[in-house]
Structure formats: structure tokens, C-alpha cells
Amino acid sequence: MSQKILSVAFVWNQHQPFYLDMEREEFIMPWVRLHAAKDYEHMISILGKYPKVKATFSLSPSLLEQIQVYLQKGALDYYLQVMKKADSLTTAEKCFLLLHYFDIQWDRVISRFPFYRQLLEKQGRVTEPAVVQEALSRYTVQDYLDLQVWFNLAWLDPELRERDPFLRGLIKKGYNFSEEEKDELMRRQFEVLAKIIPGHRRLQDEGQIEIITTAYYHPILPLLIDSHVALRPSPGLDLPQRFRFAEDARAQVRMAARQYVHLFEQRPRGFWPPEQAVSPEMIPLIADEGFRWTISDEQILCKSMHVEIYRDGYGHVLNPDVLYRPYLVSSYGVELPIVFRDHHLSDRIGFVYQEMSGEQAAEDLIHRLHKIWENLGHNPDNFLVTLALDGENAWEWYPEDKTEFLHCLYRRISDDPYLKTVTVSEFLHSNPPQRSITHLATGSWVDHSLTRWIGTGNKNMLWNYLLTAREAVQKEEERGGEEDRERLEKAMLNIYKAEGSDYAWWVDSMPYYLTAPFEALFRKHLIMVYRELGQSVPEYLYAPVIQPGPGEKKWQEDPLAGPVCIVPGWKQEK
């Protein structure tokens, strides 16, 4: 059997929607701050302990911008606003704490901390606002202070909690925290946020990681270029009015490259298409902006090459020669290397390994990589297994967060004679594509289609609202002079934000109560477009597009007035 080494590329995608309500200078949700405190710095901290292991990180510009806003401009999320002194909390703020300060996985996280679990039991383990009010009388001022501390402590890097004497002391103490201890905890949290960008830049400069970027506000680029390309993978799909603004797609890509150069002091090489959504028209656009490779899902490879990826009953690929290599995609006279992720193995990390211990999960993945190596046999080519997935959403569902799994995995790979981790650019430099794709399929990593973002009644309404606002800007651009440039730029900035994929992703796909704030923020961005143009805001933008379904309760207040509760047991799809 060949003794060639199998190359493995881990591509961790770090992204959060743009939660910032610019009018109020407030984040409508806290997940940038909390995932930054728990996940983003921790991911590179673990990797840094294994210098033989390399990885690629996709950092979305909207995420990086929001981290900078937290650090530089002092914008708050409501979760921070209720971190005031416990004895000055209003009744409404107490209700908010009891409803939202358990917003982390109950069984895998809260249950590990006895005193935090006691606070949850005292609350009654409920998620309904009306029901949670009944628990007010069961809580003392000290209970609220303890809850403030525990929530932010649980949302910290778990290894930092163990090695930092102060944080370790808080866990050991468990209750009766002081206001001074709470303040120091929050100072430590923001210290973590401040390390994220410099930490990634340092590992990039040392050659251990490659950083790649994506379109700035995370739009589905094929749909911006021409929304009717959604018909290619889904013939007969009911579509809204045709949206065709390739210049917006180009602007979102160009803004991303500009931010990257500013933060990381070099040109980006790899481009992560938001939601791995690709189309032939997208290729020359990103190539023109200087990107040297891109990535998508194995299902897109299958549709492009008219092949199937065959697996046995254990999920092992039987024709690995097809999947585990780069391709050269040709489109409109432009050629660009592209790699395709192993959908099955990536999803095992995202959704399956949480049911195992970290050691068992690492053992399973190493075994599966060895099977790929074996199945490639004596093939003389060099092969690349690409594992690409969200780098934050899965971890709180793991028994020990990401800690045990990644340490075991990186340690095993470091010592493995048959496996070698690489960055994607590193592999492509030594192994340029030998096979070509002349007809790239249109689709994403969700069902190899674009229906997660277009094609239902409410999703289509969002697109029609967006189109009307975009055309309003276009008309002003055509008649405006140099003196109008600033207001037009501000209007377009709100258009770019509204083009983000996360709004349509939620609508008609997820429960109403969770979706309403995203849909409301989408409309807010469009309202700001008209205000920047000095035009009357269409009345329809003040009315919700979505309504509660059977058994769902309607929002009784503005969904932008406060965030939603994570429903225990619910997890995001990919």
C-alpha cells in the first residue's frame, strides 16, 4: 500500500449576523460578544498548543466589525445593560434576567455548575415571559447578582476559567458574589475580545493558520448577481421580482478585501462564499478582486460533474479520487481553484460528535481519515480532505465544549505518520488542480439549492422590499450630483446590510418568536435607506412581514426592544 501522506484542511467558519441597530447604537442580540468570549479566541488558543497542526479560519467582516465596535465605541447589547448593580434592577430588568440569563445549553453547560443549576431550578426551567414573572418572589437581590455572574462566567473560554486563578475562584465560591467580582469578570471578558484579531494575525504571520474572508455583510452572492439563478437547482420555484445588482455583490467582496488588508496587513487569498453558495457568474467577480481560491460543498461538486459520491454503510467514501482533490473551475473566461468539503465528515463534527466523549469523537474522526487514506490505495496523486463548518455553534452541545475534542484531535494528528494538516493555500501552491469544472452548479451547502433564502411568500416579500429600496437609491444616483455622494453612500450601506443572508434564512424557516427580531432589523435597515435619501418611508416597512403560526404567541412589543430566548434543545441547522 502507498505510504503517501494524506493532507487534511480544517476550515473553521466564524460568522455572526450584523446585529447592530445603528439608529440606537445597540446590538439587538449578544451573540458576537458571547461567542467571542467563549469560542473565537479559544479556537486559536487550542491550536497554538499544537504547532504541527495547521488550519484555515474564515472570519466574516460583519463579525470583525462588531467585535471592533464592542471594543472601540462602547455600543451595548441589552444583556450588558442589565449588568447594573443588582439592588437597582427594575422589575422588568429582573424578568429579563430570569428569562435570558439561562441562554446557554441547560443540560451540557448549566448542569455542570451546581449553583448555576440551583438558580435555574428556582426559576422553574421555563422560557415563557408570563410564567417567569411568577419566579420573581423566589429571588433575592443576591440571587440576581449571582445570576449576572454565572451567565457571563459560563460564556467564557472554559480553559481560561480553569487556568485563571480569579475565574477559578469564582467557580469554587459559587454564590454570594460581590459587585466588584462582577466588574472584574466583565473586564476579563473584554480582555478576551481584545485578543481575537491580534491572535489570529499572529498565527497567520507564523504560518500556522490561513485567514480567509467572505462577502462583507454575508449576502448570498448568486442571488445578488441575479436572483433568478435560484431556478437552476429548483425549476418552477416561485420567485419574487428579479433582483440583479452585480455591482452590489462586487462591492461586498471589495469591502471585505479592504477590511482584511487593514486588519491583517496582507491581501487575502481564499474566499468563503456565504453559506458556500456559488454560481458561475460569481467566479469572475471574486477572481477580479484578487482571490486565488474558493470553496463549496461536495453536493455542488456532484451537480457540477454529474457524478455521485458513493459511501458504504459506515459513511466511508468509496470513490475518494473524485472528492478529495482541488478542481479548476472555468467561468466566463476566468479560471479559479476550488475545493469541496466532505459534507458527511463536516456534519459529524457539527452534529454527531456531541453525543460522544471528546476522546471517542477524535478517535472516530482519525479512523475515518485513515479509511480515506486506505481507500486511495496506490493512487500517485496528492489528495486533500477538506472539513469545513461553523466554528462556534456546535461546541456548547459537546460534553466538554470544544476542549477535549480539539485537544485529542490535534494531539493525535500531530503524531500521525499518515496525516498532515495544511492550509488550503499551502496545498494548492504545491498541488495545483489537475481536473477542471466547466459548468459550475448553482447552489449552496443547504440541499445544494438556494431555497433557504428565496422562494416562499415571506422570503419573496423581503426580496421585493429590498428591490424597491435599491431602485430608489439607483434613481437618486442617476439624478444626484457630487454633493449627494455622502447621503447616497449612507443609504447604500444600509442596503448592503439588508442584503445579508441571515434575514431571509430565518424567515419561513424557523419559529416565529426567534425570527421576529431578524425580520424587524431587516425592515429597520430599509427604513434607514429612505431616511438617508430624504424620502418618505413606505408604510409597509412599519408592519411585520411574518405572523405567528399555529400555537405560537405574537410579540406584544417591538422585537428590537430586547432579544429572544434560546429554546433549550433547539439548535441551528446547517
Asked if the structure places residue 388 within a domain, the reply is no
Asked if the structure places residue 86 within a domain, the reply is yes
Whole-angstrom distance, CA of residue 22 vs CA of residue 161: 33
Q: For 6, phi and psi rounded to 5 degrees?
A: -90, 125
Asked if the structure places residue 167 within a domain, the reply is yes
Strand order, beta sheet including 20-21: 20-21, 26-27, 76-77
Q: Mind spelling out the 3-state secondary structure of 262-308?
A: HHHCCCCCEECCHHHCECCCHHHHHHHCCCCEEEEEHHHHHHHHCCC
Whole-angstrom distance, CA of residue 458 vs CA of residue 466: 12
Cα→Cα distances 295→204, 259, 348, 440, 541, Å: 19, 20, 19, 12, 36
Which pLDDT value is given to residue 76? Answer: 86
Contacts of residue 226, defined as CB under 8 A and 6 or more positions apart, other chains included, come to: 242, 243, 244, 246, 281
Whole-angstrom distance, CA of residue 498 vs CA of residue 486: 19
**Per-residue DSSP letter, 5:** P
Asked if the structure places residue 189 within a domain, the reply is yes
Domain count, the chain: 1
Whole-angstrom distance, CA of residue 464 vs CA of residue 18: 21
| Domain with 133 in it | 71-195
Asked if the structure places residue 361 within a domain, the reply is no
Helices (H) and strands (E) in the chain, counts: 24, 14
CB 32 within 8 A of CB 155: no
Asked if the structure places residue 82 within a domain, the reply is yes
Which pLDDT value is given to residue 25? Answer: 86
Predicted TM-score (pTM) of this structure: 0.96
Closest CA relative to residue 497, chosen from 30, 79, 65, 35: 65
Whole-angstrom distance, CA of residue 504 vs CA of residue 461: 10
Which pLDDT value is given to residue 572? Answer: 34
Contacts of residue 46, defined as CB under 8 A and 6 or more positions apart, other chains included, come to: 159, 402, 403, 406, 407, 410
Which pLDDT value is given to residue 75? Answer: 67
User: Using a CB cutoff of 8 Å and minimum separation of 24, what contacts does 265-268 make?
Assistant: 265/201, 266/204, 268/211, 268/212, 268/213
Q: Mind spelling out the 3-state secondary structure of 357-405?
A: CHHHHHHHHHHHHHHHHHHHCCCCCCCEEEEEEECCCCHHHCEEEEHHH
pLDDT averaged per 10 residues, the chain (length 574): 82 96 89 98 98 98 97 86 96 94 96 98 89 94 98 98 98 98 97 98 98 98 98 98 98 98 97 98 98 98 98 97 98 98 98 97 98 93 97 94 98 97 98 98 97 98 98 93 87 98 96 91 97 97 93 77 43 34
CB 277 within 8 A of CB 232: no
Residue where the block lists cell 432589523: 521
Asked if the structure places residue 171 within a domain, the reply is yes
Asked if the structure places residue 253 within a domain, the reply is no
Whole-angstrom distance, CA of residue 249 vs CA of residue 254: 9
